[in-house]
């Protein structure tokens, strides 16, 4: 018989000829039925004596050389019990609930891009606008690593509810704030904590309720629910402000946050991570070093996208363009369209085979801003950078999740979103000074160079 089975603690060591596989955490079965049952239970296929997990179609952990006997440790999501019952389809009740809650949450949050108008109405200065709006970003950057660790340790749903409730509280607070004071910063801090808590918990849930080999596609489709609110919320918000005033506008944002809270209550049969599976002490705040490659790539992605969005309005104004709405329309349509049509590419081809060319696409669009500062040029740049965003964000987030064990997915997503926000913040601070000294074309030339260097470094890493 080519198969042998041995029990070691909570693990089952399965050996076929000279290959040893650590199947992890389930009871040994009769040898004769083992290959068939393993395929049914863990989604594992046997080929040439190696075991390939359903999660690891794109990243086989390891195969021993003939004649050696060293356990192969399959990645956490391949053998965890919580994934053994996942259907092969993305569409499920919980996925719909997650997407709808995401839509309501960001419908509320993205409406606050109009908050500077209210601050101006109350007599606020540009400096006060900067402090109030910046307090949200700073809070989100600092809180996200903590939020990821708490989501891992104490469960997903309770933090969904907490984040929704904080968003609701902040929106109601703004509705009753009729003069400039410290409450504005306090409510923005609440929004920063609420965003970090809600989004990390929700994205972690999505990663766990969809088939692992369709994770990139699922994250992309899920993200569309938030993308459409970027244009929708400010547009509807302006209508409400002009017809009913700012208090009604903030209450409308509170209604959207309440919709998120109520929707989040509808999740069914969510399995919680046992506390004993999550490490305690300082290490429980730190994700595994395995996720460093996608985190560094995300930092570059955030740096480039932040440079585009932060400085494009003033750059276009300096170039004599009075309207740049076409750029945002092209960007949004391209980002959504590419997710709908090419969302499965990173699942089929592998994460890095999609991430690296998409990074070049983002760099090409950014480089175009050195010369293409015209209405038609901005449409082209918006299309290129939107396509890159539509491919990069789902692939990078799925890549970070792939490399994390099931009990550290929250921390992994927290590190991913922190890197994105940190890149945006660094773009504002660093390239603001560069633009002041050398002009706007220089910052887009520099960011394109950073993309090119990153591409070649990670291409060599990928080949190695």
pLDDT tens digits for range 289-347 = 777 888 898 899 989 988 888 787 778 878 887 777 778 888 888 888 888 888 787 77
| Both structure tokens of 359 | 């990074």
Q: Are 226 and 107 in contact (CB under 8 A)?
A: no
| Both structure tokens of 405 | 């064990």
Q: Do domains 90-285 and 287-464 have the same CATH topology?
A: yes
What would the CATH number be for the domain defined by 90-285?
A: 1.20.1250.20
Q: Residues of 390-401 as b/e, b for ≥16 C-beta within 10 angstroms?
A: bbbbbbbbbbbb
At the top level of CATH, the class of 287-464 is: mainly alpha
Which of the residue ranges 49-58, 161-170, 359-368 would you say has the lowest mean pLDDT?
A: 49-58
Closest-CA residue to 360 (of 441, 438, 454, 238):
454
d(CA 366, CA 360): 10
Cα-based angle 294, 387, 394 (whole degrees, multiple of 5): 35
The predicted-structure confidence for 161-202, as pLDDT tens digits, reads as follows 999 999 999 999 999 988 888 889 999 999 999 998 998 888
Closest-CA residue to 205 (of 61, 93, 58, 347):
93
Q: Does residue 76 carry a pLDDT above 80?
A: no
Averaged pLDDT for residues 421-443: 84
d(CA 255, CA 319): 40
pLDDT of residue 270: 67
pTM beyond 0.75: the answer is no
Strands (E), 17-149: 19-22, 45-47, 50-52, 71-73
Q: Residue ranges per domain, the chain?
A: 3-79, 90-285, 287-464
pLDDT of residue 286: 63
Helix (DSSP H) and strand (DSSP E) numbers for the chain: 16, 6
What single-letter DSSP state applies at residue 64? P
């Amino acid at each position: 018989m080519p198969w042998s089975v041995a029990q070691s603690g909570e693990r089952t060591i399965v050996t076929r000829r000279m290959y040893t596989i650590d199947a992890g955490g389930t009871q040994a079965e009769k040898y004769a039925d083992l290959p068939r049952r393993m395929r049914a239970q863990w989604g594992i296929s046997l080929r040439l004596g190696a075991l390939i997990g359903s999660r690891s179609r794109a990243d086989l952990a390891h195969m021993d050389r003939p004649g050696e006997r060293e356990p192969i440790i399959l990645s956490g999501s391949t053998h965890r019990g919580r994934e053994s019952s996942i259907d092969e389809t993305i569409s499920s009740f919980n996925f719909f609930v997650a997407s709808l809650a995401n839509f309501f949450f960001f419908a509320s949050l993205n409406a606050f891009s109009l908050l500077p108008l209210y601050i101006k109405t109350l007599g606020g200065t540009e400096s006060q606008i900067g402090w109030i709006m910046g307090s949200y970003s700073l809070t989100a950057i600092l809180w996200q690593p903590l939020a990821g660790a708490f989501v891992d340790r104490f469960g997903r749903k309770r933090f969904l509810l907490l984040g929704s409730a904080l968003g609701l509280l902040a929106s109601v607070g703004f509705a009753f704030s009729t003069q400039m004071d410290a409450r504005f910063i306090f409510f923005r801090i609440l929004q920063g904590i609420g965003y970090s808590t809600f989004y990390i918990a929700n994205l972690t849930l999505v990663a766990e309720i969809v088939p692992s080999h369709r994770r990139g596609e699922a994250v992309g489709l899920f993200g569309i629910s938030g993308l459409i609110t970027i244009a929708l919320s400010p547009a509807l918000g302006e209508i409400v402000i002009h017809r009913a005033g700012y208090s009604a506008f903030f209450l409308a944002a509170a209604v959207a946050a309440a919709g998120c809270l109520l929707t989040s209550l509808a999740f069914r049969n969510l399995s919680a991570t046992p506390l004993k599976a999550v490490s305690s002490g300082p290490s429980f705040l730190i994700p595994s070093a395995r996720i460093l490659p996608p985190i560094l790539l995300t930092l570059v992605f955030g740096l480039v996208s932040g440079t585009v969005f932060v400085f494009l309005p003033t750059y276009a104004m300096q170039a004599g363009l009075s309207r740049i709405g076409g750029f945002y329309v092209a960007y949004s349509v391209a980002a959504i369209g590419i997710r709908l049509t090419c969302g499965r590419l990173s699942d089929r081809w592998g994460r890095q085979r999609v991430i690296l060319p998409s990074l070049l696409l983002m760099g090409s669009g950014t480089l175009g801003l050195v010369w293409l500062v015209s209405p038609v040029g901005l449409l082209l740049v918006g299309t290129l950078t939107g396509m890159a965003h539509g491919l990069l964000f789902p692939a990078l987030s799925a890549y970070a999740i792939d490399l994390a064990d099931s009990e550290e997915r929250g921390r992994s997503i927290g590190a991913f979103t922190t890197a994105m926000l940190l890149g945006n913040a660094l773009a504002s601070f660093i390239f603001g000074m560069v633009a002041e000294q050398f002009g706007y074309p220089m910052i887009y030339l520099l960011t394109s160079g950073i993309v090119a260097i990153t591409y070649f470094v990670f291409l060599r890493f990928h080949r190695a």
